[in-house]
């Protein structure tokens, strides 16, 4: 349509109806929010509902979240679908560290979010003790529709907060290569309530002088326990005649 046919008011209305303006950050966030690739990872019974979500009945391809990747280096969303044991926590943290940036975590079900009915020493009482969780999906187990709703809430969160600056508070930035080698993939989660009061990740914060001294004493005690008993110390050795 030629410009001369429209007056100024009609021209402005014509442009507003047909032209969309945005920013680069919002465009990138729109692309990220509509193409989240979950890692192929399941923990317990909630994983069955997660598998049902990607079936033809629910068609999660509408939201761009149907491409499950076998390698964490090709995934940017981690769905914790079930209880997390103490021994499994470091493994999950290693998978999280190997994922692409930016990355997001959905805690699916009561067991993953708070330990659920497994309130004992062997289960982590909340996955947010060792990874930053973006969305909690309640239920035992949640239905596939509930998980889809959680993915939609995560998409809205990505669109509304592109920078996700809250991750700096939890030290959620960086990859496994950026951590100290002796701490990478070995986050310490010993018991319920072991997370620091300030909400920082257990094991990723800079150790204090007291913690380093305690660790040094423990290593020294372990070395002393493994050292063989010497005859020079006045204590009979295993081959010495006690007569």
Domain count, the chain: 1
Q: Domain range holding 152?
A: 7-178
Evaluate whether residue 199 is within a structural domain.
no
Contact 116, 91 (CB under 8 A): no
Model pLDDT, residue 204: 42
Evaluate whether residue 225 is within a structural domain.
no
Distance (Å, rounded) from C-alpha 111 to C-alpha 46? Answer: 9
Model pLDDT, residue 79: 93
Coil vs helix vs strand at 115: coil
Evaluate whether residue 238 is within a structural domain.
no
Evaluate whether residue 121 is within a structural domain.
yes
Of 53, 51, 129, the C-alpha closest to 85 is 129
Evaluate whether residue 140 is within a structural domain.
yes
Residues 203-206: contacts with CB under 8 Å, at least 24 apart: 203/130, 204/171, 204/179, 205/171
Evaluate whether residue 125 is within a structural domain.
yes
Evaluate whether residue 74 is within a structural domain.
yes
Evaluate whether residue 101 is within a structural domain.
yes
**Domain holding 26: CATH number?**
3.40.50.12280
Coil vs helix vs strand at 85: strand
Model pLDDT, residue 16: 78
Per-residue pLDDT of the chain in tens (243 residues, 90 and over written 9):
555 576 778 777 877 777 778 888 788 888 888 888 899 888 889 899 999 888 888 888 888 888 888 888 889 899 999 999 999 999 999 999 888 888 889 999 999 998 888 888 889 888 888 888 889 999 998 999 999 999 999 888 888 765 554 555 455 544 443 443 444 333 444 433 444 433 333 444 455 667 677 777 777 776 776 666 555 545 454 554 544
């Amino acid at each position: 349509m030629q410009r001369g046919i429209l007056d100024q008011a009609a021209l402005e209305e014509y442009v507003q109806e047909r032209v969309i303006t945005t920013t680069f950050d919002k465009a990138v966030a729109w692309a990220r929010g509509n193409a989240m690739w979950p890692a192929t990872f399941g923990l317990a019974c909630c994983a069955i509902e997660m598998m049902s979500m990607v079936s033809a009945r629910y068609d999660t391809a509408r939201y761009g979240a149907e491409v499950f990747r076998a390698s964490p280096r090709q995934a940017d969303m981690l769905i914790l679908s079930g209880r997390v044991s103490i021994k499994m926590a470091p493994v999950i943290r290693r998978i999280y560290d190997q994922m692409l940036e930016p990355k997001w975590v959905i805690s699916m079900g009561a067991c993953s979010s708070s330990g659920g009915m497994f309130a004992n020493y062997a289960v982590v009482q909340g996955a947010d003790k060792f990874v930053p969780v973006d969305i909690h999906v309640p239920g035992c187990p949640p239905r596939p529709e509930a998980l889809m709703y959680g993915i939609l809430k995560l998409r809205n969160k990505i669109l509304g907060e592109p920078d996700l600056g809250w991750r700096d508070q939890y030290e959620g930035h960086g990859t496994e290569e950026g951590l100290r080698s002796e701490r990478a993939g070995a986050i310490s989660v010993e018991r319920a309530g072991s997370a620091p009061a300030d909400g920082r990740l257990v094991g990723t914060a800079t150790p204090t002088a007291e913690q380093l001294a305690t660790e040094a004493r423990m290593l020294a005690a372990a070395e002393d326990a493994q050292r063989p008993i010497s005859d020079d110390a006045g204590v009979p050795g295993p081959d010495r005649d006690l007569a």
